Every structure is written in C-alpha cells, then in structure tokens.
Structure 1
Amino acid sequence: MGHIQRRCVRHHGLYRRPPRGDQILLAAGSSVEPFWVLYGMHKTAQVLEILERYRIGNLRKEDVGQMSEDMSDPYSNDPIRHAALKPASKKPFNAECPLAILVQSFITPNELFYVRNHLPVPNVDTETYELEVEIEGTNKTATFTLDELKKFPKHTITATIMCAGNRRGDMMKVKPVKGLNWGPAAIGNATWTGVRLRDVLLKAGLDEDDTSYNHVQFEGVDIDVTGKMYAASIPIWKALDREGRRPASVRNEWGAYPQRPRLSYTGYSSGSGGGEKRKVTVSKVESDSHWQQFDYKGFAPCVDYDSVDFSKSPAIQELPIISAICVPSENETVQVSEGHILVKGYAWSGGGQKIVRVDVTADKGEKLACCQFRCAGYGIAASALVLDPVVEIWAKAVDSCYNTQPERVEHIWNFRGVLSNAYHRVTVHLKR
C-alpha cells in the first residue's frame, strides 16, 4: 500500500483514499466492513455519495462470497426492543418513544424509554461484573462487585435523561448535520435507585478535601472493533454532590438485562456518563476519549468541519432549557372545541433547574397562553384560542434562572446538530 492509493472494501467495491478518520484508517489495505457494520448509523445516502467518488473498481463475485462468510454481526445479541419505539437507527439500535405516549405519564415506562447506543449492547454478567475505581496518581484503587455495591446505602431519585442530539431533526431541516435524525423524544424520565457515586469514591479512598482533582472519568463496558471503550467525564464537584442527587444507579433497563449497573446524573447530557461502567477514575484532567474531545461539543453556525477547532469548545455537560409539543402531532387534523384546542408536551432544563413557565401561541407570538402543569417541572396542558384553518403552534419554556429558548433554530444551528432547543413548532389542521 502506497501513499497514493489506500484500498478498502465496502459494498463489494474498491475505493481510493477513503474519507479520513483515525479508526477507519486502521483498515487501510483490507476490509473496512467490520467498521461499517459496527458504526451502522453512518450508512446514509450522504456518506455513500462521498464514498462513491473514491470507487476504483468492484470485487469479483467469488471474493464477495468469501468476504460475506467471514463477516459476523456484532449486533446479533442485542436485546429485542418494544415495537412501539421509533428507530433512528437499527445498528446500533437507537430509538425514541412516540410523542403521544411520552406525555401520558410523568414516569416513562422502562420498555418505552428512549434508547441511545453508540456500539453493540454489552452482555453484562451480573455474577462476574466488577467496577474498578482508581484515584489517579496514588496507589488507591478499589474493585467492587455488584453485590458489594448493593451493600452501600440506597438512594432513589427521579431524573430526566436526554440525548444532546434531541430534536436534531429540526436542525436538519435548515441544512444537513452530522448525527442521528432525532425527533423530540430522545428524552425520558425515570425513578432511579442505587448507590451514590460520592459514597463509592470516598470508600475507594478519595479525600474530598484534596483540591488537586478536577474530573471523574468513566469507562464503559461497550467496546468497538479497535478495542476502545466508550468513555467520558464530568466535573468532580458533580460527582461529590453532598445532596446525593447523582447516584451510580442500578435499575432494570428496558428489559435487556436485570440490574445492569448504570450511572445517572441529574441535568446532564446522556453522553456525559450514562450507561454501563467498568471503571471510574478520579483525575486532574477530563477524559481524552473521542466522545469527550471530538464529539459532544457545540459550535457557532459559521463553523464547519473545515474550520472547526474542537479544543476551543467545552464538552457538553449541563443541557439548556428545552420544550416540545407532543400532542397534537405535525400535520394532524384537530377538532376545535369552543374555539380552542388542547396542547400537551414536555419542558425540561439542565442542571436541576425548575421549569417555572411554558408559553404556547397559535398566532406566531401575538398572544401567548400560559400552560398549566400536570407535574412540577414537567408537562404542558394548555388551551389556546385559534381561528385559522391551518395554524402553527409554538411552545417555549422558562426555567427558575429565567433562561428561555431561542426563537429560531437557524440562530443555534451547528454542524454537530446538538443543543437543538429553539421554540418547538407544530403545524396542525383545524376541524370545526
């Protein structure tokens, strides 16, 4: 293999100098099919169009057959999910709850909780599972089995988890962005019971008065084809929260495996630390993982892949205020009753901020109707006066720090398609 031509095999073709990427280039000179099988969310028309420019030939049929026999599906053991979930991708499986169902209950049913995977679902054996905790720069390390973790004091919280790419589909309507085409339901609310991360760290020997540490890093049990594990980090003050609102929780997750060990953080992106963990490291620096350094970050609308400097943007931690209309749905025909229609949805703000108000309008802001909450800090149930046969309903929320949503998605568009929290808009047809 020379510097002029790199060969890779995909979709039975030969391609010259494939698109760059540290992991994909590991396949230079041989098959990249395992990489494309693993990162199935990139099998899009846009990516295939880019690849087509590099095609230099096609494989012989006999070679294709041999190659196909050698390939195994890393997703073959993934759990079967509920049929009501709306997939954003199938391999890895990512899906959201139907909007009308999402607002039926303050607590999202386990089976209908949104699913966010970057890699195949790991088969966690609860009998042999161990969580390793390391205090970096010292000889303090500890290993806890699941049974040992269960002996810690139990704590229960109700916490909302949301993907940083929730409502990415709104940004895609402006212009293409990288990532899954999420609607407004990459979010869920659950009751979590488990062990406080603070308690685990102190048991492992961390001195909470030692101010030399700034971050807590998490390494997952899910592994990609290069052997790298999903990893991210949070600030140490979040991990040592004395109020105990951020437990390293254990719950039955989506019917996949009983008592899978997970980490949950109130008000944080699900990419910051959610998921099954095998190692926790108290560190002076944040995680150097791809996801922390080159993925979950937000940028200005003028930044693109050619001009981006990832080092100049912080990793997403606490998420901005957001809301979404769940009922009625886009282009639905709605019966008008005494000049009004019923609008339902959700509102949520990161960092533990309370929702204090949600406004809806059916006349582009000329008149705003304040909503009534079904549950504190969550949910919309409001009536708005409507006259036209087709109306666009807007919703915006305000939290306890008086943060509110930007009016237009164009103003916050970014090439990663994250932090999409502009006014939510739904067009409906009225039936009188």
Structure 2
Amino acid sequence: MDMWGKRGDMVVHDMEPFNAEPPPGALLDRITPVDTFYGRNHGPIPRIDTASWRLRVDGLVDRPLELSLDDLRDRFPRQSVVATLQCAGNRRADLMRFRDIPGQQPWGPGATSTARWSGVSLAQVLTEAGLRGEAAHIAFTGADLSQEARPPQPFGASVPVGKATSEEVLLAWAMNDQALPTAHGAPLRVVVPGWIGARSVKWLQRITAQARPSDNWFQAGYSVLPPEADPHTAAPGDGITLGPIALHCAILRPEHGARLPAGPTRVTGFAFAGEDRTVARVEVSGDGGTTWVRADLDVPESPWTWQHWRADLTLPAGGTELVARAWDSTAAVQPESAATVWNPKGYANTSWARLRVACHRP
C-alpha cells in the first residue's frame, strides 16, 4: 500500500495491475481522502516524466495542439469540480452471490469515491484546437499498456462531443487540492463527472476528435452483455455500451456479517444517480424488505456527487437482512433482485443493496 500511498486496510483484489477498494466504513466522508480513494487499473501504473510529457490534441480539429503541463496551466483558466467516480463493476460481489462471474474482481461497494478535481476545461482546449462541426466523439488515450485487451494496447475511451464540451468535464492535474498522484493518473487525467470511471482516462497522452466512438478495446469492452453471452467471444455490438452511471445505492455501516446488539441500530450508506440526476429518496428495511423506514438524505456536494444517508432501525435478536433502495429525480427506482441485472461481466449492479447481520441480546 505504501507504494501507491494507500491506507493499510485497503481490500486488494490485484497487486499488478493494482486494483483495490477501501473498507465500506471508510467512505463516510463527503470528500474521500486520497489514501482511501479506490484504484482500478488494467495495466501496470506508468511513471511519467512530467518535464518531457506532452498532450497531443488532433483529429477533426483545425489546429492540432501539443501542450506541456505548463502550457495548460498558463493558457487556460483553472477550474475545479467535486465529482464522484465509480467503477462499472462496483458491487459485483453481490451479483456473484447470485451466480459466479469467473475472471472478474469481486468488488464490494468501495469502488466508488469522491474528490475535488482541478485543472482546465476540456471544452476550452477543444475550442483552442478549433473543433470541427463533423466531430461527434472525443477519444482519449492513456499511457497504461494493458495485456487484457485483444490485442494489447494502451487504455482508451471516448465520450460524445455533447458531454465532452460540457463545463464539468476537466483535464485534471490536481486531486483534493494536491498534485495528482501517480496512482490516479499524473501528470494529467480526464474527469468525466456522472459517467463510469472507465471514461475518465488516466495518464492522458492524446485527445482525438473523430466522427465515431473510440475503437479502443475498452470502449466496447465496458458493456452490459445479455446473460447468455460469452464475454470471450462477444462482438463489440453485442452489449449495451456503458456511459452515464445508473442509479445506485450501498450500505456502508454496518458491514456484511457484522455481529450487533439487538435493538436500536443506525444504518448508513450512500446513493448516487449519475449524470446530472440527483437522488430523491432512500428507504431502508431491517427485515428483508417487509417494512421500510425513510432515510435522512444529505444534499449533494455538487450535481456530480454521491449523497450519504442514514436511518435508525430497531433490529431483533437473530439473523436479519438489511436492505436499502433509492429513487432518483426522474422517479426511477432500483430493481429488487440481483437476478434481474446479472450479466457475464458483472457491470452496473443497480439492484437493492442487501447484507446480512447477526444480532444478539445485550
């Protein structure tokens, strides 16, 4: 953990590439400390010499650019946004309890974190480059080479021009008012608020304006496939390519399997609606969904962040199931069962949050 500046109790799924999440109870702060922020990678973390690094902006632009970090700082106004990033595989472990997903990391609810990101507006950089009218997608290429891709290639992704030119999308060199750490994409990364973390490409080297989505393996790879599909043979068009984050809810405390005294118990968690939606309501049950209590819900730090919630329940002695569900500002509600959203890669688990605890008489 010391190598990447992470706390010692991170739940490590892989050391190389580094994939780790904090324990659920560590995510109760509105802004996640850098040492607690989850890490999701598909290749070794590159170490880049900032002095020689350059960002290339090309494709369907009138004036291709090559920019150093000093160029970005000097030529464009600094901007900041507080935004939650979430791995598309967050809460995959809950799907695995319903049916196994071989070859995938069993992420709990900790592959979600929130930071204050600072840098420059992507839209302003694209304007400087003279973005052409026929450009429909903006593609990003990082420096991290992944052997998972077929063939091996640097990690990449794209977002539609409409999102890329929104004021909240940044090219970030700072995180929580500190220099961006190597483990989170230094010297520069993209931050695409409200979209799955895989579109916020780290160790950014190239931005390309183009007519079609990125052909990078990971652009189509982050897709929800039909339950019967084989992820090893699926074609790019076989799934639903992921972009905006779907409505999501998680219980942070108590943790799964906890032993508690029977009686009054505070249950806490977070909910996140993704894109520019907000969470409108959270309900919590201490009896597997038979009865419900409405939770107190925090106002979001920004339009692009999670919302923490809390509810007080009275739990009986014995084993019981805690359940939480959320509605967003469009009145969408989470589906009840993991069985309805299971997919061969374990992405986008939007089902009710569930965990079991054992209560003893005090």
| Corresponding residue of 2:11 | 86
Q: Does 2:168 match 1:239? A: no
Show the 5 A alignment for 1:7-406: 79=4, 81-103=6-28, 105-136=29-60, 140-151=63-74, 152-177=76-101, 178-207=103-132, 210=133, 212-224=134-146, 228-241=153-166, 244-251=167-174, 252-254=179-181, 256=183, 260-293=187-220, 295-305=221-231, 308-336=234-262, 339-376=263-300, 378-406=307-335
Which ranges in structure 2 are unaligned for 5 or more consecutive residues? Answer: 301-305
2:324 counterpart letter in structure 1: A
Q: Structure 2: which amino acid aligns with 1:247?
A: L
TM normalised by structure 2 equals 0.90
Q: Is the 8 A contact 2:317 2:360 kept in 1?
A: no
Cα distance in 1 for residues equivalent to 2:48 and 2:38 = 20
> Secondary structure, in 3 states, of the residue corresponding to 1:111?
coil
AA matched with 1:140: R
Cα separation, partners in 2 of 1:257 and 1:404, compared to 1, 3 Å: closer
SS in 2 for 1:182: coil
The CA distance in 1 between the partners of 2:308 and 2:5, in whole Å, is 29
Report deviation, 1:309.
Answer: 4.0
Counterpart code for 1:144: L
Q: Say if 1:307 and 1:280 are closer, same or farther in 2 by CA, change over 3 A.
A: closer
Higher strand residue share = 2
Query: SS state of the match for residue 350, structure 1?
Result: coil
Q: CA deviation at 1:303?
A: 2.8
RMSD: 2.1
Label 1:415 to 1:256 Cα distance change in 2 as closer, same or farther (>3 A). closer
Number of corresponding residues: 346
TM-score, normalized by length of structure 1? Answer: 0.76
* Further displaced range: 420-429 or 77-86: 77-86
Shift of 1:366: 2.1
Aligned counterpart in structure 2 of residue 417 of structure 1, from 343, 346, 351: 346
Contact 1:261/1:276 (CA < 8 Å) preserved in 2? yes
How far has the Cα of 1:79 moved from its partner?
3.7
What is the CA–CA distance in structure 2 between the aligned matches of 1:117 and 1:88, rounded to whole Å?
Answer: 11
Equivalent pair of 1:110/1:255 in contact (CA under 8 Å) = no
Partners of 2:243 and 2:185 in 1: how far apart?
Answer: 28
User: In the aligned structure 2, how far is the partner of 1:111 from the partner of 1:302?
Assistant: 39
SS of the residue aligned with 1:222? Answer: strand
Q: Which amino acid aligns with 1:431?
A: H
CA contact (8 A) 2:48 2:186 kept: no
AA matched with 2:209: V
- After TM superposition, give the deviation of residue 182 of structure 1 in Å: 0.7
Alpha-carbon distance, 1:78 to partner: 6.3
Relative to structure 1, the CA distance from residue 296 to residue 389 in structure 2 (aligned partners, 3 Å threshold; closer, same or farther) is same
One-letter identity of the residue aligned with 1:184: P
**SS of 1:279's equivalent?**
strand
- Partners of 2:73 and 2:170 lie apart in 1 by 12
1:233–1:273 contact (8 Å) kept in structure 2: no
Deviation readout 1:41-91 (Å, 9 max, x if unpaired): xxxxxxxxxxxxxxxxxxxxxxxxxxxxxxxxxxxx964533221101111
Larger Rg computed on CA atoms: 1
* Cα distance in 2 for residues equivalent to 1:173 and 1:301: 15
Name the SS of the counterpart of 1:345 in structure 2: strand
| CA distance in 2: counterparts of 1:238 and 1:127, whole angstroms | 30
**Residues in 2 aligned to 1:342 and 1:143: alpha-carbon distance in whole angstroms:** 53
Secondary structure of the structure 2 residue equivalent to 1:263 = strand
One-letter amino acid of the counterpart of residue 67, structure 2: F
Q: Shift in Å at residue 387 of structure 1?
A: 2.7
CA distance in 1, matches of 2:183, 2:289: 45
Distance 1:306 1:201, change over 3 A: closer
3-state secondary structure, aligned to 2:342: coil
Q: Is the 8 A contact 1:111 1:255 kept in 2?
A: no
CA deviation profile, 1:336-388 (whole Å, cap 9, x unmatched): 4xx42100111111112111111100122221111112443511211123334
What per-residue deviation string (whole Å, max 9, x for no partner) do you get for residues 208-234 of structure 1?
xx2x22110000011246772111111
CA contact (8 A) 2:5 2:35 kept: no
Structure 1 pair 101–306 and aligned structure 2 pair: CA distance change class (3 A): closer
Change (3 A) 1:253 1:334: farther
Task: Tell me the amino acid that sits aligned with residue 429 of structure 1.
Answer: A
- 1:231 and 1:307 mapped to 2: Cα distance? 20
Contact 1:157 1:245 in 2 (8 A): yes
